[in-house]
Structure 1
């Protein structure tokens, strides 16, 4: 079976506001106040918790690796508490997922968000059951851009790893697909959208309505029925 594997943050859902809120909670505990703002720092949010803590501490002139490590669990707890306060799926994302499934593709998720948090978010958004697999940052000993999590997501979705396509929004996703030897489709509507063309993916996605056609061109059509 051919499979379509999605990144989560910035690809399926706009999670940046809730991520930034969790980081600013940490800075508040430190007595620094809000160090990150939306939408200006949305791209930083999608680089993960440690990247947000690092950036805020640098701006405050108080960066230490030890401080990042100390507050990372605090950030994760704060994020878990407000994980779906402002997060929304991108327009048309679930319609595209259902169209792909109807066409016979296996559909899964490969994210660098911790698996438990990714599961929690998708459950709260009411869309977890639409995906046959979910592989997070800590599901395996390695994470993207290592290709193993992508291959595992494809296998768990019932597919052959070499016949998958990765839908993402970053250089991490592009490098993952390169390392895996499979095509990537990068979305242009995420926070880093204007930068995606320079990464030379096999395709750019401006509207989720176009995804089924793009996938068919890149990896072929599954035989169903």
Structure 2
């Protein structure tokens, strides 16, 4: 079966506000105040907890990688406690998912967010049942950009890895598709969207209404 695998953060949903809030919770606990800005640092937020901690600690003296490691469990806990206050699905995302399913495609998710957090967020947003698979950062021994992360998401959705593509928003997603030998579609409306064309994906996506047509052109 032809299959479309989606990234989550920055692709299906803008999760940056809640991620930044979780990081700032950690920084405030260390009496450092809010070190990250929800708008200016949104792109870093979508690269994960460690990236946010590194950026914040780079703005003050006396903190380094050991502090990133020490605070990583705390940022996960803060995020889990308040995961959906600011998060929103991108306009038309779920309409496109349902259109693809109606056209006979399997759909799934491959994210570098821990699986439990991804599951909680998707359930909270009311869309988990729309996807045939969910592979998180800790589901397998490997994670994106390892191609097995993509392949397993395809298999668990009931699809054929040879007839699949990846919809994402970052260089990690592009590298995953290259490593897997499948096309990628990168969205332009996320925080890093202005730079995705330079990654040379097979297609870029400005509006989810166009996704079914693009998918049909790329994998039939």
Residue in 1 aligned with 2:181? Answer: 181
For 1:62 and 1:3, how far apart are their aligned partners in 2? 48
2:44 and 2:76 map into 1 onto residues whose CA distance is 16
Structure-1 separation of matches of 2:119 and 2:173: 20
Pairwise CA distance, 1:126: 0.3
User: Aligned residue for 1:73?
Assistant: 73
Provide Cα deviations, 1:135-170, integer angstroms capped at 9, x if missing partner. Answer: 000000010000111000000010011111000000
Counting matched residue pairs gives 220
- What is the DSSP-based 3-state SS (H/G/I as helix, E as strand, rest coil) of the residue aligned with 2:151? helix
Query: What is aligned with 1:90?
Result: 90
2:189 and 2:83 map into 1 onto residues whose CA distance is 21
Question: Counterpart of 2:17?
Answer: 17
- What is the CA–CA distance in structure 2 between the aligned matches of 1:219 and 1:95, rounded to whole Å? 20
Report the secondary structure of 1:108's partner residue.
strand
Where does residue 62 of structure 2 map in the other structure? Answer: 62
Deviations 1:165-189 (A, max 9, x none): 0000000000000000000000000
- Aligned mates of 1:29, 1:196 — CA distance in 2: 35
The answer to whether 1:107 aligns with 2:107 is yes
Q: Provide the C-alpha distance between the structure 2 equivalents of 1:63 and 1:57, rounded to a whole number of angstroms.
A: 6
Partner Cα separation in structure 2 for residue 127 and residue 11 of structure 1: 14
Once residues 183 and 171 of structure 1 are traced to their aligned partners in structure 2, the CA distance between those partners, rounded to angstroms, is: 13
Quote the residue 2:156 is aligned against: 156
Provide the residue aligned with 2:28 in structure 1. 28
Question: Which residue in the other structure is 2:197 paired with?
Answer: 197
How far 1:65 moved relative to its partner? 1.4
User: Could you list the per-position Cα deviations for residues 101-131 of structure 1 after superposition, in whole angstroms to 9, with x for gaps in the alignment?
Assistant: 0000000000000000000000000000000
* TM superposition shift of 1:78: 0.4
Matches of 1:63 and 1:97, distance apart in 2: 43
- CA drift of 1:61 comes to 2.1
TM-score (norm 1): 0.97
Q: Distance in 1 between matches of 2:143 and 2:151?
A: 11
Q: TM-score of the superposition, structure 2-length normalised?
A: 0.99
**Which consecutive residues of structure 1, in runs of 5 or more, have no partner in the other structure?**
221-225
Q: Which residue of 2 aligns with 1:223?
A: none
